[in-house]
Amino acid sequence: MRKLVVIMTFLGLSLSGFAQDKNAKASIEVDGVCMMCKFRIEKAAVKSKGVKSANWNMETHILDLIFDERKTDLTTIKTNIAAVGHDTKDIKATIEAYESVDDCCRYRDEQIVKDHQNGKKKGGH
Contact between residue 28 and residue 51 where contact means Cβ atoms under 8 Å apart: no
Give the 3-state secondary structure of residue 36.
Answer: helix
Give the 3-state secondary structure of residue 47.
Answer: coil
Domains recognised in the chain with CATH numbers: 20-124 (3.30.70.100)
Could you list the beta-strand ranges (E) of 1-125.
24-29, 51-56, 62-67
pLDDT in tens, the chain (125 residues): 666 555 555 555 444 445 678 899 999 999 999 999 999 999 999 999 999 999 999 999 999 999 999 999 999 999 999 999 999 999 999 999 999 999 999 999 988 888 888 875 544 44
Give the span between the Cα atoms of 65 and 120, in whole angstroms: 30
Dihedral of CA atoms 17, 22, 26, 31 in degrees, nearest 10, equals: 140
